[in-house]
Structure 1
């Protein structure tokens, strides 16, 4: 078969120049924006290729026809699909497989263009529908899946067909790609792109296919021998793994392992992302290190270096210096692997990836935290957070508050930095940072030398020229001042201020305060400050700014003495409070005999009308009201006129509609509304109840949770199906939050399965309380295991329930019954309560 295809390609070589000329004309018309004229030539190419039996050119013409039609055809996806289906019988294998792959791509394109509408549709029952406008997500997935399956039929033929045979329809990069040497590689990877799409993995049946076997991350030879069992009807993950097995088995014997390395790394990444077993990070790293040893002399090892480096970089993000030095050196290890890849195989794809990762790991960062105001003549403490910086250069420059505000308002960072560099510093020095090259973010504290009163800018950089192009720069503006203040809003909207000595807290009299109001100048397109008043603090350091209107004004305060000055860091808003005249407000409180009804049932309701004026409430007697009944589409079904009695109440009834859309309906009048549900429902016959969790459990021990399915009539629901799953979450005691550290956690499924209820309706589920060993034991993590069950009786009625149990290294919680603030002389005794992790008293 290969020889026939190759001979066809050679035989057609003499006519290839004709195709080239015609395609060049198509490209030129496309560039000129004339798709209809281009299609005319494409159709001629198709007919010529059909006569020449040049199926590669036929496929290219089909694909180009559809692409050009999309420029002006409204329903181009539907028409393109119909066009390919019409021409498909004219193609032989393996060309027909290529068309099936193209059909899958068109169905997916239609789905993506209509995703918003499709996701709102309920499941389609009639699977013989031909109108895509009525399909739901599941039907699209099945249709695409079916076309992709057809594209991979006759696997042997596809594997023996070189990709270069179809170079007319492949990009130059694809046709020469050593990672996709055969047509099977190209079509299989097309299918994998769909199988790995998380959007089509959204279905969550109780029993489903999961990547729960550590062999999923084993070396390729072991993985291809792994027996996979499809536990659900339509598992995208299962089919992705099966296809990975086919690809790996196909390439295991290759002389050049380039394609094998590429697909194996893709498989490992996919399996890692979806694995639910423990210590998957260690397993992945172990397998990558085995691959490194096996392919140490092949260029493909550079990609393996990159994947190992990526793993170390990710684990380096877990470094928490407040806990331990674990993962401290991981990013440095990642750098070493990247450097090896670039050094050994500088032109490889892996080296290119490593260069990007290296740039990210080595990226510098610098951030300084500084109080807005500090005392004169005292050292000023600042907190510095930095990464990949070993030396700092610091300058303190004097600033004019008005000019600096203008620069910051214009967001002109370049102009601001240039201006700061030109200022003569009042202090400048350098600091050597005693840190190793671990590429982690570190934190330290720096002392700024004492300064006199004034407004300053602190410039910090890793280069003495303070040029942003050569490194990183941090700028903080701050005041050095003895002046501080506190403020309080009065009931009438006035603002009262107390000016205080920043060091002693004593009142500061005779401080001059200039008040500025901010407003936007439309002509200048900037915010301006307009002086609106001057105040002087009294002997108690107080002054009051009166609210003069109902409009909210943004104020800035400038405090001054003969030797000191300070500007408020934030705006103050001042306005006269607006008091709306109180009006009587009426409310109707509705009551119905039930919350849910069937179509055609009578809804008995009652209402009470109450009028409120301020704090006074009274019933509304003998007043006529109109009550309406509305369906789910907000259409009035029925309306009745009623009158409240001497107790302010009324009552009546409505009949729920039959033959209309069911759902949420409402009863309402002018003063209130009440919602009810109208559904074609069956009364529940049984319930699922869990037994209380007694005692405590240990990590890595067996945990058994039990429950019962009991009918409301009192009898047991025996031999009912119980589908279950157990998920684990992690939480930490509250006290650790104050340090600003919260370890990374995620929900993990640790067990799932199916059992049955016994004769007495009871059931039990046992699982092992496996901890997340990546969580730091120092902070006493508590692992919460939630069992979720779906119980289905013989008639098909389903009820769900869930029960949680918490397990940790420490089994007791101690709680002090004590207020946040107490008078120590009044405390005679303190109540202490001890409970286990499940809240039961011990």
Structure 2
């Protein structure tokens, strides 16, 4: 029950960072009362398991004592989500196992637990280190429960695995097959041709390409039309890597590719994957224009229109459960053809195109189209005199009724319109309603009394013609003091001790002389915008790097001492900086709490420069001025010297198609990780 976080209070769930992790890991969080609900459940868990560990140790039951340590580690690792906290937990466990007698079988269970914790890391070599830890436990006590668990971990890390996807339609000689793999040296592939037009006649759904359940029927008893193997690069980090493969055939048409770990493609002790795709240079581009579709046939290699392409339009016959041919036509000199979809009788259609050996089809069903006439509709705008009210106060409101067409181009107010305005509380229960008639300008006004005894929160004012407005009903209490955070006495620097001070003062001017405060500092990286021109933005979240508590002094002052730490190895990465946020909560002797926060940005450099409102295009042969803004990292102007260069971009002799461009790395890519050629 203590570990069930659903039973924790919101404060206990949100303030895990403020606990002394070292004390919890040691199993000695101090003298606590287990029946005190104010004591954090994690502190109780650590105290109970620490006492259990010492009891077992005193009786000479060293393996049972180790299990108490492992359970404490499991509970703390689940509760502390920050990476730096989890790193401390892993290091603690590694140190305890190093000091433990490896000759005892339960040592292997500790190694299994350590391997699981390491395996959850995001570092590039996490699986390598997890495997090494599990190997040590497996080899030391192979028959013990911990040894068997270690063996399972090693097997899962070393297990081969892959997935395969393909382009829906691609041209010959392209990297049409994408293989995501780990621990696989060679992948065997076979391919069979299938007749796409024949499948249209027998298809019972809009999807024409065969699914996995159709593969056995398509390839049963038929020799493969193509067979080959792909040598995959090694994956010594035991993680997934991507390799693109080029099919070795160039015959146009539909293909089903079957991949296998085993060369004989047997189903036993094997992993089979199948993917269909169409090999063709023909591409169909569809565009909706009113009640018709404009279809353009183009060459995938050049993008030029294809004239004379033969088009066959099929409709899904619900009665027979298959597609039937309804029309044939050809593309014009511009590669275009028009389809009138106004009389298609509510059934999906499919378009198949052929030009020589090339063929293509619409990737999604074409549906009937109809002209929609914008309809006039009525609505209302509601206004209130305030956004927050207290029970017992009067809510003054005003409503303006209007009519407009569906396109939103014509609006008129509604004079003499009868409408009803209703007030509902946070439970959705009606408090009061009033029927009104708008004046000559379409407006009406009234008021409601906010009653006592109703649920506080978000209330809603609605009109029978449409439209609504939200208000807040709260027992608002006027604050008696405020908290402010001042500027640092000296400029802050990365990896240098810092002190930020603030003060709490009553609004009548005197300091808050009695009270306590809690503070924490979070950090998140700030990447320059130009990083994302060539790779996605990394997913980051703020992490707590420091926290503490204290008591305000006689002058109402608070002090927060911490070190804005950062990885010095990243100093060579241009433009990288960090955003730190200090949050302080001060509670006075009467229990009132007020908060303040301050954000500051630090980096390995103190200034940055950027183009101020850069133009998108410049006219050749004309003088142009570019304004460069020099600021500190918080955006304040920073006078000083600088230099600039203007470089000409070298254009390629021939523009590259998207398929020929380098693969964009993922947003989570680590430059220290192992990379395959792909």
TM-score by structure 1 length? 0.65
- Greater RCO (CA < 8 Å, at least 6 residues apart): 2
Deviations 1:494-527 (A, max 9, x none): 1111212222332222111112234656xx8xx6
Within the candidate set 259, 263, 279, 1:464 is matched to 263
Give 1:575's aligned residue: 369
Give 1:548's aligned residue: 342
- How far off its partner does 1:304 sit? 2.2
Q: 1:568 to 1:660 in 2, by over 3 A?
A: closer
Give 1:481's aligned residue: 280
In 1, Cα distance between the equivalents of 2:569 and 2:75?
21
Give 2:5's aligned residue: 198
Give 1:177's aligned residue: none
Q: 1:517 to 1:764 in 2, by over 3 A?
A: farther
Q: Are residues 1:828 and 2:621 paired? A: no
Deviations 1:413-442 (A, max 9, x none): 355157436443333222333425442222
In 1, Cα distance between the equivalents of 2:64 and 2:469?
65
Give 1:597's aligned residue: 389
- How far off its partner does 1:641 sit? 5.7
SS at match of 2:110: helix
Deviations 1:113-155 (A, max 9, x none): xxxxxxxxxxxxxxxxxxxxxxxxxxxxxxxxxxxxxxxxxxx
Q: 1:829 to 1:398 in 2, by over 3 A?
A: farther
Give 2:354's aligned residue: 560
Structure in which a larger fraction of residues adopt helix:
1
Q: 1:644 to 1:696 in 2, by over 3 A?
A: farther
In 1, Cα distance between the equivalents of 2:246 and 2:428?
68
Give 2:164's aligned residue: 368
- 2:176/2:246 contact within 8 Å kept: yes
- How far off its partner does 1:292 sit? 4.4
Q: 1:366 to 1:519 in 2, by over 3 A?
A: farther
Q: 1:692 to 1:285 in 2, by over 3 A?
A: closer
Give 2:53's aligned residue: 248
Q: 1:688 to 1:607 in 2, by over 3 A?
A: farther
| Higher Cα radius of gyration | 1
- How far off its partner does 1:253 sit? 3.4
Within the candidate set 187, 201, 212, 2:20 is matched to 212
- 1:373/1:479 contact within 8 Å kept: yes
- 1:517/1:555 contact within 8 Å kept: yes
Q: CA RMSD in A?
A: 4.0
> How is 1:170-185 mapped onto 2 (pairs within 5 angstroms)?
none
Deviations 1:556-578 (A, max 9, x none): 22111343322333334441232
Give 2:669's aligned residue: none
- How far off its partner does 1:635 sit? 5.3
- How far off its partner does 1:793 sit? 4.1
In 2, Cα distance between the equivalents of 1:818 and 1:425?
61
Deviations 1:634-664 (A, max 9, x none): 5555555655444444444443334555554
SS at match of 2:10: coil
Q: Are residues 1:258 and 2:63 paired? A: yes
> How is 1:146-161 mapped onto 2 (pairs within 5 angstroms)?
none
- 2:525/2:540 contact within 8 Å kept: no
Q: 1:815 to 1:571 in 2, by over 3 A?
A: farther
- How far off its partner does 1:370 sit? 3.5
- How far off its partner does 1:374 sit? 3.1
Deviations 1:379-412 (A, max 9, x none): 5454432101012222232222367785988986
- 2:519/2:560 contact within 8 Å kept: no
In 1, Cα distance between the equivalents of 2:84 and 2:454?
52
Q: 1:424 to 1:628 in 2, by over 3 A?
A: closer
Structure in which a larger fraction of residues adopt strand:
2
Q: 1:402 to 1:650 in 2, by over 3 A?
A: same
Q: 1:717 to 1:619 in 2, by over 3 A?
A: farther
SS at match of 2:238: coil
Q: 1:596 to 1:776 in 2, by over 3 A?
A: same
SS at match of 2:184: coil
Give 2:232's aligned residue: 433
Q: Which runs of 5+ in 2 are unaligned?
A: 639-678
Give 1:754's aligned residue: 550
In 2, Cα distance between the equivalents of 1:610 and 1:360?
66
Within the candidate set 324, 341, 350, 2:146 is matched to 350
Give 2:676's aligned residue: none
In 2, Cα distance between the equivalents of 1:436 and 1:631?
60
- 1:743/1:775 contact within 8 Å kept: no
> How is 1:546-695 mapped onto 2 (pairs within 5 angstroms)?
546-549=340-343, 553-583=347-377, 585-592=378-385, 594-613=386-405, 615-621=409-415, 627-632=421-426, 637-638=431-432, 642-658=436-452, 661-671=455-465, 672-691=467-486
- How far off its partner does 1:679 sit? 3.9
SS at match of 1:308: helix
- How far off its partner does 1:769 sit? 1.3
Give 1:503's aligned residue: 301
In 1, Cα distance between the equivalents of 2:241 and 2:396?
68
Q: 1:819 to 1:385 in 2, by over 3 A?
A: farther
Q: 1:725 to 1:772 in 2, by over 3 A?
A: farther
- 1:591/1:607 contact within 8 Å kept: no
- 1:421/1:466 contact within 8 Å kept: no
- 1:509/1:537 contact within 8 Å kept: yes
Q: 1:596 to 1:333 in 2, by over 3 A?
A: closer
